[in-house]
Amino acid sequence: NAGVTQTPKFQVLKTGQSMTLQCAQDMNHEYMSWYRQDPGMGLRLIHYSVGAGITDQGEVPNGYNVSRSTTEDFPLRLLSAAPSQTSVYFCASRQTSGRETQYFGPGTRLLVL
Amino acid sequence: DAKTTQPPSMDCAEGRAANLPCNHSTISGNEYVYWYRQIHSQGPQYIIHGLKNNETNEMASLIITEDRKSSTLILPHATLRDTAVYYCIVRAPNFGNEKLTFGTGTRLTIIP
């Protein structure tokens, strides 16, 4: 199993550009989440999904969209990038059935100029 | 989810046991204590979790006080690769609510 994979590893955007951060998992996990981490801070939840076709907002959802058309994939879209979205983005997945153990991807470093 | 308090940083000598405390005085009866760590620039990694009994796995031990208001993560023989930020999280299993909150954690530095 590859676990949780994220692409790209690093991206530079100009203010106003849009892009999609990709996340995929091959563990058949129903739950998937997106977090952002800013320097010196903990992780903050952006959006999450409890299964294909179901998504919900986390702590800091503004400026981001998600969709979950398959169990494996959970892309994060930045509609109009802003410098405040400069951050490291982590995708995570976990099983259901009471197991709260989350598996995280390697992260995407995003710089918005 | 209950709030947790951790010291911002700790040092530990290589080969010694690293004891990382966490205070969760407002923990509810159905909330578990989870520990994750994040090695520099990597995604967080699950370590261990428990409800009220002490737990041990290949990575660490978790000691939860009888009143469950605090816990200690123990890395029995710390190595340089254990240098990381350690997060203590308290959460009840809640299908459909994924609002897992990571605080600022404890930055553990293992000293050669």
pLDDT band, very low/low/confident/very high, at B97 (cuts 50, 70, 90): low
Collect all residues with Cβ–Cβ distance below 8 Å to A10 and sequence separation of at least 6. Answer: A108, A109, A110, A111
Mean pLDDT of chain B: 90
Q: Which tokens hold the place of B6?
A: 């951790």
- Per DSSP, helices labelled H in B1-112 are none
Query: CA of B107, closest CA in chain A: separation in Å?
Result: 11
**Which residues is B71 bridged to in the sheet?**
B22, B64
Contact B95 A103 (CB under 8 A): no
Cβ(A106)–Cβ(A10) under 8 Å? no
Kindly identify which residue of chain A lies nearest to residue B98, measuring between CA atoms: A48
pLDDT band, very low/low/confident/very high, at A98 (cuts 50, 70, 90): low
pLDDT band, very low/low/confident/very high, at A94 (cuts 50, 70, 90): confident
Kindly identify which residue of chain A lies nearest to residue B35, measuring between CA atoms: A101
Q: What is the pLDDT of residue A20?
A: 97
* Distance (Å, whole) CA A6 – CA A29: 16
Q: What is the pLDDT of residue B96?
A: 58
Q: Which has more pLDDT, A62 or A94?
A: A62
- Label the pairing between strands A64-66 and A76-78: antiparallel
pLDDT band, very low/low/confident/very high, at B39 (cuts 50, 70, 90): very high
Q: Which tokens hold the place of B19?
A: 């004891």
Q: What confidence tens digit (pLDDT) does each residue in A26-47 have?
A: 999 989 999 999 987 778 899 9
Least confident of A12-21, B40-49, B61-70: B40-49
Contact A58 B99 (CB under 8 A): yes
Collect all residues with Cβ–Cβ distance below 8 Å to B58 and sequence separation of at least 6. Answer: none
Q: What is the pLDDT of residue B6?
A: 95
- What's the Cα-to-Cα distance from A54 to each of A21, A97, B56, B84, B99, rounded to whole Å? 18, 18, 35, 34, 15
Contact A59 B34 (CB under 8 A): no
- Per DSSP, helices labelled H in chain A are none
Least confident of A94-103, B26-35, B70-79, B91-100: B91-100
